[in-house]
Amino acid sequence: MWLGPIWMIVWLAVLVTIVIGLGRWLGGTDTHRPVPTARDILDERYARGEIDRDEYLKRRQDIAGGS
Protein backbone atom coordinates (compact mmCIF):
# COMPACT_ATOMS: atom_id res chain seq x y z
CA MET A 1 0.00 0.00 0.00
CA TRP A 2 2.81 2.43 0.74
CA LEU A 3 4.55 1.47 -2.54
CA GLY A 4 1.85 3.16 -4.66
CA PRO A 5 2.92 6.76 -3.97
CA ILE A 6 6.61 5.83 -4.35
CA TRP A 7 5.99 4.28 -7.78
CA MET A 8 4.02 7.36 -8.80
CA ILE A 9 6.99 9.58 -7.90
CA VAL A 10 9.41 7.25 -9.71
CA TRP A 11 7.33 7.29 -12.91
CA LEU A 12 6.95 11.05 -12.70
CA ALA A 13 10.74 11.42 -12.40
CA VAL A 14 11.25 9.11 -15.39
CA LEU A 15 8.74 11.10 -17.44
CA VAL A 16 10.37 14.43 -16.55
CA THR A 17 13.82 13.02 -17.44
CA ILE A 18 12.55 11.82 -20.82
CA VAL A 19 10.90 15.16 -21.61
CA ILE A 20 14.03 17.13 -20.66
CA GLY A 21 16.26 14.75 -22.65
CA LEU A 22 14.04 15.03 -25.74
CA GLY A 23 13.95 18.80 -25.42
CA ARG A 24 17.74 19.02 -25.36
CA TRP A 25 18.14 16.53 -28.17
CA LEU A 26 15.58 18.15 -30.46
CA GLY A 27 16.58 21.68 -29.49
CA GLY A 28 20.17 21.03 -30.40
CA THR A 29 21.57 22.85 -27.38
CA ASP A 30 25.33 22.58 -27.47
CA THR A 31 26.69 22.59 -23.94
CA HIS A 32 30.20 21.61 -25.07
CA ARG A 33 31.33 24.78 -26.79
CA PRO A 34 35.06 25.17 -27.06
CA VAL A 35 36.51 27.94 -24.94
CA PRO A 36 38.20 30.51 -27.19
CA THR A 37 41.93 30.84 -26.72
CA ALA A 38 43.72 34.15 -26.31
CA ARG A 39 44.84 33.85 -29.93
CA ASP A 40 41.24 33.34 -31.08
CA ILE A 41 40.12 36.46 -29.23
CA LEU A 42 43.05 38.44 -30.65
CA ASP A 43 42.26 37.27 -34.19
CA GLU A 44 38.61 38.30 -33.76
CA ARG A 45 39.56 41.75 -32.46
CA TYR A 46 41.89 42.27 -35.43
CA ALA A 47 39.24 41.06 -37.87
CA ARG A 48 36.68 43.49 -36.40
CA GLY A 49 39.16 46.35 -36.72
CA GLU A 50 39.42 46.99 -32.98
CA ILE A 51 43.22 46.90 -33.14
CA ASP A 52 45.63 47.79 -35.93
CA ARG A 53 48.21 45.50 -37.55
CA ASP A 54 51.13 46.63 -35.40
CA GLU A 55 49.19 46.08 -32.18
CA TYR A 56 48.01 42.69 -33.48
CA LEU A 57 51.53 41.52 -34.30
CA LYS A 58 52.90 42.74 -30.96
CA ARG A 59 50.21 40.99 -28.95
CA ARG A 60 50.47 37.83 -31.04
CA GLN A 61 54.19 37.70 -30.27
CA ASP A 62 53.46 38.29 -26.56
CA ILE A 63 50.94 35.42 -26.54
CA ALA A 64 53.40 33.10 -28.30
CA GLY A 65 55.96 33.88 -25.61
CA GLY A 66 58.45 35.42 -27.98
CA SER A 67 60.79 38.20 -26.99
- Crossing angle of helices 53-64 and 38-48, rounded to 10°: 180
Is the separation of the CB atoms in 60 and 39 below 8 Å? yes
Give the residue-averaged pLDDT of 44-60: 96
Q: Is the dihedral of CA 35, 39, 44, 49 positive or negative?
A: positive
pLDDT confidence bin for 29, thresholds 50/70/90:
low
Per-residue confidence (pLDDT) for residue 3, from 0 to 100: 83
Number of CB atoms found within 10 A of residue 42's CB: 19
Residue 51 binned pLDDT confidence (cut-offs 50, 70, 90):
very high
Q: Quick check: pTM over 0.95?
A: no
> How far is CA 34 from each of CA 37, 52, 57, rounded to the nearest angstrom?
9, 27, 24
